[in-house]
Amino acid sequence: MSDDKSTAGSSGELPLAERDAAHVPGHWLLARLGKRVLRPGGKELTERMLADAKLVGADVVELAPGLGRTAQDIVAAGPKSYVGIESDPKAADLTRRAIAGNGTVVSGDAAETGLDDASADVVVGEAMLTMQTDKHKAEIAAEAHRVLRDGGRYVIHELAIEPDNVDDEVKTEIRKTLARSIKVNARPLTAQEWKDLLVDAGFEVDVVGFAPMKLLDPSRIVADEGLLGTLKFVSNVLRDSDARARVLQMRSTFTKYRNHLVAIEVVARKKAA
């Protein structure tokens, strides 16, 4: 869900894999506990987004594929090629295993992929722009624009704040509470702000869709993970008291702001020069 590193940096902080349940970013904690679908709109919105992306026969780039769950769906859709850009070595390995040779995964930053200009038909990004600063969001959108051919699609699935005219104080409160809960500097935008971001990068917005933000609701977990996956996840949560406290905290935050949080899909097209 983000570009967090899993290796120790110059600050000497622990790799993500070694951090305890109280300090690891929320998406990695959920992954440890067996959750495989980590997108705000769940599997349903991802499937809608990929259908709108028109992947058949396309050269596809995915930014920060994470566990590789969406990468599997992308390669199953029959693209001409798949390239994942992942800054986290552990996540890159997971995605390589997920796609089983049906594409490549390279180390790189979403804002500086190293790919050629106009080399892709579709760029996919899920639940990663939300975790970036406004400046880095713009840099990533600009990079997507650079690597796309004219008419190419940049498709995103992110977390949004609603309504568009929500007070700035409320937006700030939501962002701060999310950051404390998931241990990542989450900065969701309103739907209009997401569209403005892409328009400012040179895109035309073709599709905007929404889904409830119910990542940790029982009905969504069953829909995303299936019965056996849900039982495994719940069992792991129940066995680990520290992890259980974090999961309940995250769920409480999502519930508190349920009238202001929503999952959003946007499909934007690169205009011809």
**Vertex 245, ends 254 and 132: CA angle to 5°?**
45
Instruction: Tell me how many domains the chain contains.
Output: 1
pLDDT > 50? residue 260 = yes
Mean pLDDT of 33-55: 94
In a domain, 8, yes or no: no
Q: In this structure, what CATH number is given to the domain that contains residue 244?
A: 3.40.50.150
pLDDT > 60? residue 13 = no
Mean pLDDT of the chain: 90
Mean pLDDT of 245-270: 95
Would you call the peptide bond into 89 cis, given omega within 30 degrees of 0 as the criterion? Answer: no
- pLDDT-derived band at 47, boundaries 50, 70, 90: very high
Lowest mean pLDDT among 138-152, 193-207, 232-246: 232-246
Task: Please state, in angstroms and rounded to a whole number, the distance separating the CA atoms of residues 203 and 37.
Answer: 28
User: DSSP letters of 17-81?
Assistant: GGS-TTTS-HHHHHHHTT-----TTHHHHHHHHHHHH--TT-EEEEE--TTSHHHHHHHHT--SE
Q: What is the DSSP letter of 112?
A: B
In a domain, 2, yes or no: no
In a domain, 5, yes or no: no
Task: Quote the strand ranges of the chain, DSSP E.
Answer: 59-63, 81-86, 104-107, 120-126, 148-161, 189-190, 203-212, 261-270
Lowest mean pLDDT among 8-17, 156-165, 182-191: 8-17
Which amino acid belongs to residue 242?
A: D
Instruction: Report pLDDT digits (tens) over 56-93.
Output: 999 999 999 988 999 999 999 999 999 999 998 988 99
- pLDDT-derived band at 3, boundaries 50, 70, 90: very low
In a domain, 199, yes or no: yes
Residue 171 lies in domain: 16-270
Q: Are 194 and 127 in contact (CB under 8 A)?
A: no
* Residue from 110, 267, 266 nearest 190 by CA: 266
pTM of the model: 0.87
In a domain, 93, yes or no: yes
pLDDT > 50? residue 208 = yes
In a domain, 6, yes or no: no
* Residue from 9, 130, 15, 160 nearest 63 by CA: 130
Task: Please state, in angstroms and rounded to a whole number, the distance separating the CA atoms of residues 82 and 101.
Answer: 10
Q: 155-182: b or e for each residue (b if 16 or more CB lie within 10 Å)? A: bbbbbbbbeeeeeeeebeebbeebeebb
In a domain, 7, yes or no: no
In a domain, 57, yes or no: yes
User: Residue 19: what pLDDT?
Assistant: 59
Mean pLDDT of 243-271: 94
Torsion angle in degrees (nearest 10) through CA of 71, 98, 104, 117: 10
Task: Please state, in angstroms and rounded to a whole number, the distance separating the CA atoms of residues 236 and 223.
Answer: 18
